[in-house]
Structure 1
Amino acid sequence: MSHSKQPLTYRDAGVDIDAGDALVDRIKPLAARTMREGVLSGIGGFGGLFEVPRRYREPVLVSGTDGVGTKLRLAFDWQRHDTVGIDLVAMSVNDILVQGAEPLFFLDYFACGKLSVDVAASVVGGIAKGCELAGCALIGGETAEMPGMYPDGEYDLAGFAVGAVERSAIIDGSKIVPGDVVLGLASSGAHSNGYSLLRKVLSRTGAQPGDDFEGQPLADVVMAPTRIYVKPMLAAMAQFGPAIKGVAHITGGGLLENVPRILQPGLQARIDQSAWPMPALFSWMQREGGIDAQEMYRVFNCGIGMVVVVPADQADSIRALLDAQGETVYVLGEISPQSDGAPQTVVL
Structure 2
Amino acid sequence: MAALFRTDLHLGVFDTVGQDIVNHCVNDIFVGGAEPLFFLDYLGLGSLVPSQVEQLVKGVATACKAANCALIGGETAQLPDLYRPGDFDIVGCIVGAVERDQIIDGSKIEVGDAVFGLKSSGLHTNGYTLARKVFKTDEDPSVLNAYYADLGSTLGEALLAIHRNYQRIVKPALKHIRGMAHITGGGFEGNIPRILPKGLAVRIDRSTWQVPPLFQLIQKAGHIDNAEMYQVFNMGVGLTIFTAPEHAKDIPRLIPEAFLFGTVIPDDGRGRVLLS
**TM-score by shorter chain over 0.5:** yes
In the alignment, is residue 92 of structure 1 matched against residue 20 of structure 2?
no
Shift of 1:131: 0.9
Match of 2:161 in 1: 224
Return the alpha-carbon distance in structure 1 between the equivalents of residues 75 and 159 of structure 2. 28
In the alignment, is residue 346 of structure 1 matched against residue 243 of structure 2?
no
Structure 2 counterpart SS, 1:83: helix
Work out whether residues 69 and 192 of structure 1, in 8 Å CA contact, stay in contact via their aligned partners in 2: no
**Alpha-carbon deviations, 1:160-218, whole Å to 9, x = none?**
00000000011111111111100001000011111111111111996711111223111
Shift of 1:220: 0.8
Return the alpha-carbon distance in structure 2 between the equivalents of residues 267 and 191 of structure 1. 27
**Alpha-carbon deviations, 1:320-348, whole Å to 9, x = none?**
2112xxxx322111111111x22111111
Work out whether residues 116 and 240 of structure 2, in 8 Å CA contact, stay in contact via their aligned partners in 1: yes
Q: Decide which moves more: 103-112 or 145-154.
A: 145-154
Identity %: 44
Shift of 1:111: 1.4
In the alignment, is residue 71 of structure 1 matched against residue 33 of structure 2?
no
Shift of 1:235: 2.6
Match of 1:302 in 2: 235
In the alignment, is residue 212 of structure 1 matched against residue 116 of structure 2?
no
Match of 2:263 in 1: 334
Match of 1:14 in 2: none
Match of 2:108 in 1: 175
Structure 1 portions without partners, runs of 5+: 1-67
Structure 2 counterpart SS, 1:175: coil
Q: Report the AA paired with residue 343 of structure 1.
A: G
Match of 2:65 in 1: 132
Structure 2 counterpart SS, 1:77: helix
Task: Kindly report the root-mean-square deviation, in angstroms, between the aligned alpha carbons of the 2 structures.
Answer: 1.5
Given the two structures, how large is their TM-score scaled by the length of structure 1?
0.75
Q: Report the AA paired with residue 272 of structure 2.
A: Q
Q: Report the AA paired with residue 236 of structure 1.
A: A
Return the alpha-carbon distance in structure 2 between the equivalents of residues 263 and 111 of structure 1. 36
- Aligned CA distance change for structure 1 residues 109 and 196 (closer, same or farther; 3 Å): same
Shift of 1:133: 2.3
Structure 2 portions without partners, runs of 5+: none
If you compute each CA radius of gyration, which structure gives the higher value, 1 or 2?
1
Return the alpha-carbon distance in structure 2 between the equivalents of residues 119 and 69 of structure 1. 15
Return the alpha-carbon distance in structure 2 between the equivalents of residues 109 and 225 of structure 1. 19
Q: Report the AA paired with residue 21 of structure 2.
A: L
Return the alpha-carbon distance in structure 2 between the equivalents of residues 161 and 233 of structure 1. 19
Match of 1:146 in 2: 79
Match of 1:16 in 2: none
Match of 1:250 in 2: 183
